[in-house]
Structure 1
Amino acid sequence: MTDIEIRANILDGIIAGTDTSANLFSFVTYYLCHYPEVKQKMLAEIDSIFPPNSSFQLTHSDLSKLKYCEAIIKEVERLLPVSNILSRYPSEPIEVGG
């Protein structure tokens, strides 16, 4: 691999980790704004799991209880998959396998 190709691969890794997360967050926010009943149900789930105590320590097992929040994220990922945003196209025709 050339230096340019190596740099491009590293940049893809950085962009894929930040750009897709930012886009997913934007899409989730968009859908929550357009479906206030979903937003209210999501907030009710969060309020039922996390106490309003400021000394509450969040754990991984607490996050796994957010089933409705997880369903929202999965549905948005299904409707608007962010992985299709980062695509590459060959600059010239290629032959695969032969």
Structure 2
Amino acid sequence: MKRKIAFMFINASMTKPRRMVMDFESGEMITVGVKNYDMACEEAKKLAQEGILLLELCGGFGTIGHAKVSEAVLGKMQVGVVRFDNHPGYEGLSGDTKWL
């Protein structure tokens, strides 16, 4: 059985979730783009149902976004995060300030 992992990024220009799958011998890496925290939670639930072992969130998610996604998957997979408390792509704002 292939090992499946995922990475999720957040960008306001996304009108719907976008997925890309990188398939390699021992597993898959699924990249998912979402518009906001609500969409992230819905997509994370789907990933958990698909048997994804872990989800890593991009630095655009703040601590609240990380908590929301972690809560949404009900412990069915591990959720980690790349951390930028002052994200350089958001003019030094945190993800929580940008998305909430």
TM over 0.5: no
Higher relative contact order (CA 8 A, sep 6+): 1
What TM-score comes out, normalization by structure 1 length?
Answer: 0.21
Structure of greater Rg: 1
What TM-score comes out, normalization by structure 2 length?
Answer: 0.21
Q: Larger % of helix: which? A: 1
Q: Larger % of strand: which? A: 2
